[in-house]
């Protein structure tokens, strides 16, 4: 089968950066951080939430529904940023990786905010 179906979210740059951020989050896993299981799991869950909500928003039909899902993704991005701050201070050995992951998170948030603005304008 040469023609593959492309889901709407796969065309979004915001989703691609969210996926890069998710990979960076998974790369943060280490025995030291795993001792704080809840902290790490919260970061993983929030980063997955960004992906899921961008995906669901992109596949929605109405502008209002799209905007709602993109806003949820932005909220999850804020949660991830706070989690990364905690990791930087609680686990100094991971600070460089947390800062590097934040770059993709910031890009994801900027692009997702643009999707919200676009839907709020009815475009």
**What token pair was written down for 59?**
């596949």
Fold of 9-120: de novo design (two linked rop proteins) (1.20.1440)
For 82-106, write each residue's pLDDT tens digit: 999 999 998 898 999 999 999 999 9
**81 Cβ partners below 8 Å, 6+ apart?**
102, 105, 109
For 6-26, write each residue's pLDDT tens digit: 999 999 999 999 999 999 999
Domain extents in the chain = 9-120
**What token pair was written down for 111?**
């692009």
The predicted pLDDT at position 122 comes to: 81
The label of the residue with tokens 């961008």 reads: 54
Q: Decide: 12 and 55 in contact? Cβ < 8 Å.
A: no
């Amino acid at each position: 089968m040469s023609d593959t179906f492309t889901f709407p979210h796969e065309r979004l740059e915001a989703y691609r950066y969210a996926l890069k951020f998710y990979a960076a989050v998974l790369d943060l896993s280490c025995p030291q951080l795993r001792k704080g299981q809840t902290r790490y799991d919260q970061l993983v869950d929030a980063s997955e939430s960004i992906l899921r909500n961008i995906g669901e928003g992109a596949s929605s039909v109405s502008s209002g529904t799209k905007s709602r899902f993109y806003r949820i993704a932005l909220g999850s991005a804020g949660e991830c940023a706070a989690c990364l701050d905690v990791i930087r201070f609680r686990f100094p050995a991971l600070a460089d990786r947390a800062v590097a992951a934040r770059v993709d998170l910031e890009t994801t948030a900027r692009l997702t905010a643009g999707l919200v603005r676009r839907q709020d304008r009815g475009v």
